Structure 1
Amino acid sequence: MLEKVSVQNAVGTRLAHDITEIRPGEFKGPAFRKGHTVCDGDICHLQKLGKNHLYLLNMEEGEIHENQAAKILAKGLAGQGIEWNDDPKEGKITLHAAYDGILSINIASLAAFNLIDEVMCATQHNNTLVKKGDLVAATRAIPLVMKQAPIERAALIGSHDKGIVSVKPLKNLKTGLVITGSEVYNGLIEDGFAPVLSKKINDLGSRILSVKYAPDDSNHIQQAILNCLDSGCDLIILSGGMSVDPDDVTRTGIQQAGATEMYYGSAVLPGAMFLVAYINDIPLLGVPACGLFHRITVLDLILPRVMAGEHIDKKELAFLGHGGLCMNCKKCTFPHCPFGKGV
């Protein structure tokens, strides 16, 4: 419980919480820290901050201070790839990425956590690419003093799931490119896909192991895929031939190569004719023609997740619909925009 005393009578007591000072445009932060012993020289400063009274903290059994609560909450929230300083300020702790990777938020558990009274956690969007040291979440205990039981219950939600907030590291995948299309294969037009796809792969820390070209013939496409597999590729990306024209036979070539799973179509624009397939545990991503004309497509949403080891199926492609509409802004600001941020 808190006991209210005048500033003059508080000399010699220790502050139960930080006292914030705001100087617009100059400073916002603690003028006095929790635990500071009030002296005569502090009285004028405190009064200028509007503090004519202070509160002495007398903890009752089963109660907990905001800073202690924040530590418990952070420990429960933090999963793999998350680091935080054990130095809460005004009941708040920030969580940061311990390394480069893709942010993973257990959205249902986060909601359950935030439904508990007197606690909160705010995060960046799920599946956001992050760098080491990036701020990814923050938590705080809302009142100065609260019951300990709800705090422990909130932390337990996270610990059951090995943390609500985590970062998955990106794997260095040896990637094969299969560029389809008779016009490219026969040299009638210059290939524009390989440079675009190579940059996306390299930017995510992986490398191109093989580039194969195939005409609009399913047998040639099948053989190009098998050649990539034989060379040791961990990931194969195919471009073109994903539409519904009779000569769009890339899907057939993937089936002939031995696909054990294949999911055609995503709830994303651009990228509705995107394809995800697997030959045993090797992922194959089929990129439609939009990948050549749009800087950002469904590939930019799925590729990092594949590199983080996620298995993408029809459900994952369907859930992308919420937030999966690119607005084709004149100046693209991705990833600092709503595209792909629905889940």
Structure 2
Amino acid sequence: MRKVPVHEAVGQPLGHDVTEVSFERGVKHRAFKRGHVIEAADVERLLDLGKKAVFVLEENETEVHEDDAARRIAPLVAGPNVVFDPDPYEGKITFRASCAGVFTVDPERLYALNDLEIPSLPTLPSFHPVVADQPVGAFRIIPLTCEERIVAAAESLLTEPLLAVHPYVVRSAGILVTGTEVFEGRITDGFIPRLAATLAGHGVPVTATDIVPDDRTRIEEAVRRLGGACDILLVTGGTSVDPDDVTVAAMRAAGVTTIMKGMPVQPGNNFTLGRLDGRYVCAVPAATLFFKATALDLLLPRLLAGLEVTREQLVRLGHGGLAQPGAEQHFPDCTFGTGR
């Protein structure tokens, strides 16, 4: 590209998008598109936009233009259920989720890509829940052009897609409430409506519920019965350190293989995660009744998407696992869980 005074650029194709920014009118948008042939009537408008000179296209360009770099890189970045408009806007291509689910990114390759001098790809954090059409990342090179070697280096890193959205696959959930005081009607259960609302927010209906006393045999039987009747089972009550809290022991007796008992997350330290015949079973602590952002809320989206959850991943929840006051007003768009 060649820099030309705006009055001398009439009749020549613009080499880049020109952006209009007006704080007074609250606008920031593309005023002129790359390739637009500048007309005499455009000169005053360009001057109003602060452009006393512009870059125009030349034949036999030796460097890669920002639009062309974005077009080459975008198809390599986008993985399952990630879509994009192939026409860059102001040199940028934005990636969006094509369905509701859980977003993931390969962080090491993302870091390597962003370390190649000038490419820029910011994304959401891995395991962030998303809805259809939500932006999950955006790619551009920072200058108007770059050397071919940089684009080629980026392409060599992207032998596999970088971004993916995993749709929710769980179709039914069960809720088992434990507690003699609830079973006998001495207090009103609050878990079933609270958890049912949370699940409904992800499109998952509750198809089986039960309330049993703090009796290991009764809990064990109910875990087996409900666990075999739904895709995921949430068990509440009896998860603390009191001697008569037998829920987790009963889950193990029912055949639940524990992935981790207790989490480095607050609220929700006493959350326990396991599997029964391939299905996730969760012991949900009382914190869920009082807070809208807990260990359950961090993990539930990826469980509903059928993602494999390991002990190492759960240990890493401690980074960013302390919710700040008022986190429930902004979750998941807050610091809680951002270290995941």
TM-score range, shorter chain: over 0.9
Do structure 1's residue 150 and structure 2's residue 147 form an aligned pair?
no
Aligned to 2:46: 46
Q: Which runs of 5+ in 1 are unaligned?
A: none
Rounded to whole Å, the distance in 1 between the matches of 2:40 and 2:329 is 57
- One-letter amino acid matched to 1:3: R
- Please list the CA deviations of residues 59-85 of structure 1 after superposition, one character each: whole Å capped at 9, or x if unmatched: 657621110101122212211111111
8 A contact 1:70–1:91 mirrored in 2: yes
Rounded to whole Å, the distance in 2 between the matches of 1:23 and 1:213 is 60
Aligned to 1:141: 141
| Shift, 1:135, TM fit | 1.4
Do structure 1's residue 286 and structure 2's residue 292 form an aligned pair?
no
Counterpart mapping for 1:25-174 below 5 A: 25-26=24-25, 27-58=27-58, 63-160=63-160, 163-174=161-172
Aligned to 1:220: 218
Q: Which runs of 5+ in 2 are unaligned?
A: none
- One-letter amino acid matched to 1:102: V
- Please list the CA deviations of residues 226-250 of structure 1 after superposition, one character each: whole Å capped at 9, or x if unmatched: 11134x2111110011111111111
| Shift, 1:10, TM fit | 2.6
Rounded to whole Å, the distance in 2 between the matches of 1:32 and 1:130 is 32
- One-letter amino acid matched to 1:13: Q
Rounded to whole Å, the distance in 2 between the matches of 1:330 and 1:283 is 26
| Shift, 1:152, TM fit | 3.1
Q: What is the TM-score when the length of structure 2 is the normalising length?
A: 0.93
Rounded to whole Å, the distance in 2 between the matches of 1:201 and 1:330 is 19
8 A contact 2:271–2:283 mirrored in 1: yes
Q: Secondary structure at the match of 2:28?
A: strand
Rounded to whole Å, the distance in 2 between the matches of 1:30 and 1:294 is 43
From the superposition, tell whether residues 44 and 195 of structure 1 become closer, same or farther in structure 2 (CA, over 3 Å). closer
Q: What is the TM-score when the length of structure 1 is the normalising length?
A: 0.92
8 A contact 2:17–2:91 mirrored in 1: no
| Shift, 1:15, TM fit | 1.3
* C-alpha RMSD of the superposition: 2.0
User: Given the alignment, which residue of 172, 175, 178 partners 1:177?
Assistant: 175
- One-letter amino acid matched to 2:118: E
Rounded to whole Å, the distance in 2 between the matches of 1:3 and 1:86 is 26
From the superposition, tell whether residues 303 and 8 of structure 1 become closer, same or farther in structure 2 (CA, over 3 Å). closer
Aligned to 1:334: 331
Aligned to 2:191: 193
8 A contact 1:276–1:313 mirrored in 2: no
Identity of aligned residues (%): 35
From the superposition, tell whether residues 325 and 221 of structure 1 become closer, same or farther in structure 2 (CA, over 3 Å). same
From the superposition, tell whether residues 265 and 330 of structure 1 become closer, same or farther in structure 2 (CA, over 3 Å). closer
| Shift, 1:323, TM fit | 1.2
Rounded to whole Å, the distance in 2 between the matches of 1:239 and 1:89 is 49
| Shift, 1:287, TM fit | 0.6
8 A contact 2:292–2:328 mirrored in 1: no
From the superposition, tell whether residues 3 and 292 of structure 1 become closer, same or farther in structure 2 (CA, over 3 Å). closer
From the superposition, tell whether residues 46 and 200 of structure 1 become closer, same or farther in structure 2 (CA, over 3 Å). closer
- Please list the CA deviations of residues 270-299 of structure 1 after superposition, one character each: whole Å capped at 9, or x if unmatched: 111110011231110001121222232110
Aligned to 2:293: 296
Rounded to whole Å, the distance in 2 between the matches of 1:188 and 1:47 is 76
Aligned to 2:23: 24
Rounded to whole Å, the distance in 2 between the matches of 1:176 and 1:73 is 44
From the superposition, tell whether residues 45 and 312 of structure 1 become closer, same or farther in structure 2 (CA, over 3 Å). closer
- One-letter amino acid matched to 2:220: Q
8 A contact 2:77–2:158 mirrored in 1: yes
- One-letter amino acid matched to 2:321: G
Q: How many residues align?
A: 339
From the superposition, tell whether residues 59 and 190 of structure 1 become closer, same or farther in structure 2 (CA, over 3 Å). same
- One-letter amino acid matched to 2:181: E
Rounded to whole Å, the distance in 2 between the matches of 1:279 and 1:29 is 53
